[in-house]
Structure 1
Amino acid sequence: MSPEDAEALSLREATQVLARLLYRDAADIEPDLTFWLLGVDALLGAQFVALLNAACGSDIDVAELDDYPTPQALSRYVAAQLTGTPPPRPRSERAAPEPRPVAAGASRAGAGRDDVLSVLREQLAETLCCDVFDIDTEATFRSLGLDPVLGAEFLDFVNGAYGLRARPAVLFDHPCLSALAAHIAASTTAVAPGPSAAWTR
């Protein structure tokens, strides 16, 4: 079996298993949405992996859903396992995104709320492995599927991009992208981000 055929088979089986577990039509399972956004919790994740292994003859562990967090990504991993080809690099080993510095010489509002919002929206989409247009800037982080692990990853980007030392509480105090962007824009200084910034919440 070719890697392409194995991936197609794995994705088809993954989609069918998810559809049964989530009581949805297979056509409604979007392969690029994260399992979290699709509604797969820890219990369903364990059931999903067991059923997928039985259907495909694979040997994946439920913990690997963190490294391959969408049906499409997991199918590539399963296909590599079935064909003996090198697996795709897990998310935990990928390089962190390059910080996007706030322009020096900006006003007290830093890059401005709209600029900050655009950057955060793009990064959140990358963190959640979804399209940027799927991100509602007024929706809460929790409703978008940002769990504690992904929240820490997203916050690492925020701190790196804007030279901040934000703590997880900031995602509760400002629970949607729109609110967080406004807070960052109002809190950043007029200089490019660096280790001297001291914003914490």
Structure 2
Amino acid sequence: MTTAPHTPAADVLAELTAVLAGMTGVEVHAVDAERPFTFLGIDSLLGAQFLSALGARYGIQLPSDALYEHRTPAALARHIAGRLHAPSAPMTSWSPLRPVRRPAALAVAADPAGLTEALRGQLAQILRCAPEDIDPATPFTMLGLDSILAAEFIAGINQTWDLTEQTALLYEHPDLATMAAYVTARVTGNAPAAPAPAPPTRPTAQGPGLDLEALLDAVRDDVLTIDEAAALLATR
């Protein structure tokens, strides 16, 4: 019996497999490192959490499409090991994805055009396109910003500008121009933080009447079970 060689990729794979097993609720030995993540129970939400956990563990930023480019645990482990052992890239004077200290953030925010370009650069890195390909007036949904990429974009904004926004911000500011105006106002202290979405309420049989549409929404949002909804309907 031949023993597998001890390599940096093998070390990464062992830890990666343990994280994957813990997130999917299986034994470590049940994880086949050569099977695609889609067959191992990793959906888009778990995938984002998985990449976030690995990024925190190894101190690197893994883009949201890493699981598409490296479709198996073995392939992803080789990619991470390669990044960990690659020569360090020279530092540039400023990167749009690097945290900015508050005085520098204020200086950039004082120039709305500069802040727009900074956000444009962040978005271009996420969408893997050139900044000039992004029209600030084009809605994010038309640019291909799905829920996972949106979360990455907002996380980058929070990290760079020292904010604590939620992804729901993209519904209120649906394009780069309006988002830049909001971030400018937030950084310079001229706008309040966006309110957190209110938690859904449970419909009751009390009051002036039972709203059937609200009841259906409660079932769709997992606030009520079908049996609970039926019981409320029976009281009408």
Give the alignment's TM-score, normalised by structure 2.
0.42
TM-score by length of 1: 0.49
Larger radius of gyration: 2
